[in-house]
Amino acid sequence: MDVFIQRVDPTLDLPRYQSLGAAAFDFVTRETTVILPKAMGFIPSNVIVKVPEGYALLLLPRSSLPRKKGLICPHSLGLIDLDYHGPKDEIFVQVQNITDVPVTVERGERIAQGLFVKIDRAEWTEVADHGAQTRGGFGSTGG
């Protein structure tokens, strides 16, 4: 799949897959950022990505982020739509510091990854009743 990408700082590497079996690629942080204790912050990824038609780009935290940095992504994941690629649409990673000390994310560090997923748009057909049996609500399969 060909994807158009623009670097804000051309001296940093493009995002890349770290192994042949990697499903997602790693973003590199554009600048050193300090996140204060219990605070949220935004870390620049250095890229503007034109997501291909029929796809969305998911922004996911690297699995080691809480353990190594004490940071989580409060929204779990980010969604980059195909029309988010203007000149000021650099992708930012929203993080929250869950520690009691400031956390520094260094320029060039990998804290998030991107995953392209195929999408389709729904065409709604409204019905009065589905005629289906009720399962019992949220958590009903847990016994």
Give the CATH number of the domain where residue 73 resides: 2.70.40.10
Domain for residue 116, yes or no?
no
| pLDDT higher than 90, residue 142 | no
The predicted pLDDT at position 143 comes to 59
78 contacts 45 by C-beta, under 8 angstroms: no
- For residue range 2-37, list pLDDT tens digits in order: 999 999 999 999 999 999 999 999 999 999 999 999
Q: What is the mean pLDDT of residues 139-143?
A: 66
Domain for residue 78, yes or no?
yes
Nearest to 91 by CA among 60, 55, 54: 60
- For residue range 45-84, list pLDDT tens digits in order: 999 999 999 999 999 999 999 999 999 999 889 999 999 9
Residue 96 CA to residue 43 CA, distance in Å, equals 11
| pLDDT higher than 80, residue 137 | no
Name the residue range of residue 28's domain.
4-106
The predicted pLDDT at position 122 comes to 94
Domain for residue 139, yes or no?
no
**Domain count along the chain:** 1
Nearest to 117 by CA among 76, 58, 60: 58
- pTM given for the model: 0.86
Domain for residue 50, yes or no?
yes
Reading the block at residue 73, the tokens are 């992504």
